[in-house]
Amino acid sequence: MEFIKGKGQIKAEIVVNGSKKFEEYGFNGKDGEVLVLPDKKRIYVGIDEINSENLKTATAKIIKALKNYKFESVEITPPNTKDKDLLLSFFEGFILGDYEFDKYKSEKAKHPIQKVAINSKRDFEDVIKEAKIRANAICFVRDIINSMPDEITPAKLAAIAEEVAKENKLDCKIYDEEWLRENGYGAFYAVGKASANPPRLIHLTYKPKNPKKKIVLVGKGLTYDSGGLSLKPSDYMVTMKSDKSGAVTVLGIIKAISELGLDIEVHAILGAAENMIGGNAYKPDDVLKAKNGKTIEVRNTDAEGRLVLADCLCYAQENIKDFDKIMDFATLTGACVVGLGEYTAGVMGFNKNTIQKAIETGEKRGEHFAYLPFNKYLPKLLKSNVADICNIASSRYGGALTAGLFLSNFIEEENKDKWTHFDIAGPAFVEKEWGYNPYGASGFGVDTIVSLLQSL
């Protein structure tokens, strides 16, 4: 999609809170309403107020609505503001709305709108360039998450990471299952050992000349999760291709940051594995030893993401020194979706300032995050009688919190204040369209974390 200055074949307008109505067509300019008048070459989209989420959704809806027509260009006037977040969202929405995942379909999606004509004397070149990088990174993430598990194996995800590294001049290290076993990453190794597609630990590094900060991003990359011997019911197994969302999100973030040329050093650690069944699968009652020496009693093999993340967090702290922040991203718990719904991610940690800034940045980028606070009563729920810690809680309640607290046991004391955990299980993959997001993978988190790191 190309952004140009000038005229388009059809004019689009965003109507704020009923400021323009066409009652004869049933359009009252309210939030979510769309009116296309092809004969008059006009399209109108209603929003209730001007904010990033609404602007992204409005421009996405313009593109989606025009897919049913033969117009090749659309003309629009950007909002009269200097607010960078609003302008980024305005331009991103066109690209995000044009996205369709049709890799496995015989009949491919139509993309009639090739040009967005900007009716304004202002210069938007820089903001358009950044919006394209962000939106393309989000679509890149969507594509990988949506791809089937037989295609995106741990080795394939590693190959994709290598391609990203080559294109963006990043350092890339990939470690196989034997390396994990020989070097004491017992929790990570156990999760992937029953699969015909062995695990990979992937470490990408973006290092500009004079970085002002050093950031570590860790992502859960279960390219498929059957539940292991604690097998998921068939209905719950469908969509588990999305259990790699945390790792792919991290890959999208470092891709965008390197293309934007930000002056921060970023390390992306991806823990890629399949949790499968087999004669050599890890079992309930096993006791695993993580890299930091802690032993873990396995009471449920479907609580596997935290085992992979535990060792990835250990790897990061052992191999990357003097970092300023470490953040992990995972579709970790169904409990988080039950508590917050499908459209909001949970944020946990010990640094309330970082958590609050993440939530506020999310609002500016049109993504929703909510703080889930730990308390002194939770640790005893992870107590094990045979090991240092149990991989599931003894209570069925507060599962998102106890999963986050489990991870905190693999954060060294001096790094507790630097660590933030994002449970993106809800918004990473939703089986319906919502806002500016399509059915399936959303690419949630990329936009917010890029802005968060940009602001450091």
Print pLDDT tens along the chain (456 aa).
999 999 999 999 999 999 999 999 999 999 999 999 999 999 999 999 999 999 999 999 999 999 999 999 999 999 999 999 999 999 999 999 999 999 999 999 999 999 999 999 999 999 999 999 999 999 999 999 999 999 999 999 999 999 999 999 999 999 999 999 999 999 999 999 999 999 999 999 999 999 999 999 999 999 999 999 999 999 999 999 999 999 999 999 999 999 999 999 999 999 999 999 999 999 999 999 999 999 999 999 999 999 999 999 999 999 999 999 999 999 999 999 999 999 999 999 999 999 999 999 999 999 999 999 999 999 999 999 999 999 999 999 999 999 999 999 999 999 999 999 999 999 999 999 999 999 999 999 999 999 999 999
Q: Which of 67, 213, 232, 357 is catalytic?
A: 232
Could you say which DSSP state residue 389 is in?
A: E
Specify whether 306 is catalytic.
Answer: yes
- Listed as own residue / partner, the contacts of 118-126 with beta carbons closer than 8 Å and 24 or more positions apart are 118/3, 118/4, 118/5, 118/6, 118/75, 118/76, 118/77, 118/78, 119/6, 119/7, 119/75, 119/76, 119/77, 120/5, 120/77, 120/78, 122/78, 124/3, 124/78, 124/87, 124/91
The residue among 140, 149, 146 whose CA lies nearest residue 167 is 140
Q: Which of 306, 364, 365, 418 is catalytic?
A: 306
Neighbours of 341 (CB within 10 A): 12
Specify whether 232 is catalytic.
Answer: yes
295, 287 Cβ separation under 8 angstroms: yes
Report how far residue 456's alpha carbon sits from residue 454's, in angstroms, rounded to the nearest whole number.
6
* C-alpha distances in Å from residue 67, one per residue of 50, 112, 114: 25, 6, 11
pTM above 0.95, yes or no: yes
